[in-house]
A and B are shown apart, each in its own frame.
Chain A
Amino acid sequence: MDLDLLLGVGRFLLATTLLLLLTVPTAFVVIQMELKVIAQMQLRYGPNRIGPWGMFQSTIHGFKFLAKEDHMPDQADRTTFTLAPWMVYMAAAMSMLVIPWAPGAIAADFNIGIVYFFAIIGLSVVGMLIAGWASYNKYSLLGGLRSAAQMVSYEIPLTLSVVGVVVLGGTLNFREVIEWQLDHGWMLLWQPVGWGIFYIASLAEINRTPFDMVEADSELVAGPFTEYSGMRFGFFFFAEYVALFIMSGIMVALFFGGWLAPWPFPAQLEGFGGTLYGIFWFFLKSYLFVFVAVWLRATLPRVRVDQLMGMAWKVLLPLAMLNLIVTAGVVVWLKL
Chain B
Amino acid sequence: MALDTKGPPPDTSPIVIPDLAGDDDFREFGMAEHPRGGFHGLLEVIPTRADLVLDLIRANSLWPLLSGLSCCAIEMMSSATSKNDIDRFGMFPFRASPRQADVLIVAGTLTTKMAGPLVRLWEQMPEPKWCVAMGTCTTSGGRFKRSYSVVQGVDRLMPVDVYVPGCPPRPEGLIYGMLRLRELVLQRRGEWPTYVDRGPQRSNWEGDVT
Q: Report B-chain residues with C-beta under 8 Å of the C-beta of A218.
A: 96
Does A322 lie at the interface of the complex (its beta carbon under 8 Å from any beta carbon of B)? Answer: no
B191 to chain A, nearest CB (A): 16
Q: Report B-chain residues with C-beta under 8 Å of the C-beta of A228.
A: 99-100
- The total number of A-B Cβ pairs within 8 Å is 91
Q: Which of B100-148 contact A (CB under 8 A)?
A: 100, 102, 126-128
Q: Report B-chain residues with C-beta under 8 Å of the C-beta of A50.
A: 60, 90
CA distance A46 to B100 in the complex (A): 21
Q: Report A-chain residues with C-beta under 8 Å of the C-beta of B63.
A: 61
Q: Which of A248-296 contact B (CB under 8 A)?
A: none
Contact B44 A69 (CB under 8 A): yes
Does A313 lie at the interface of the complex (its beta carbon under 8 Å from any beta carbon of B)? Answer: no
CA distance A54 to B60 in the complex (A): 11
Contact B88 A217 (CB under 8 A): no
Instruction: Given A42-B82, A217-B96, A228-B99, verify A57-B58 contact (CB < 8 Å).
Output: no
Does A198 lie at the interface of the complex (its beta carbon under 8 Å from any beta carbon of B)? Answer: no
Q: Which of A35-56 contact B (CB under 8 A)?
A: 35, 39, 42-50, 54
Q: Report B-chain residues with C-beta under 8 Å of the C-beta of A66.
A: 54
Does B97 lie at the interface of the complex (its beta carbon under 8 Å from any beta carbon of A)? Answer: yes
Contact A71 B126 (CB under 8 A): yes
Q: Report A-chain residues with C-beta under 8 Å of the C-beta of B100.
A: 222, 225, 228-229, 233
CA distance A49 to B87 in the complex (A): 10
Write the chain A residue with the least CB distance to B101: A229
Does B201 lie at the interface of the complex (its beta carbon under 8 Å from any beta carbon of A)? Answer: no
Instruction: Given A68-B126, A221-B96, verify A60-B61 contact (CB < 8 Å).
Output: yes
Closest 10 CB pairs of A and B: A69-B126, A217-B96, A229-B99, A222-B97, A64-B61, A44-B85, A67-B54, A229-B126, A43-B82, A69-B127
- Known pairs A46-B85, A68-B102 / 4 extra A-B pairs, C-beta < 8 Å: A69-B44, A222-B97, A229-B99, A229-B100
9 A-B pairs (CB sep. < 8 Å): A47-B88, A47-B89, A50-B90, A64-B58, A221-B97, A222-B96, A225-B97, A225-B100, A226-B99
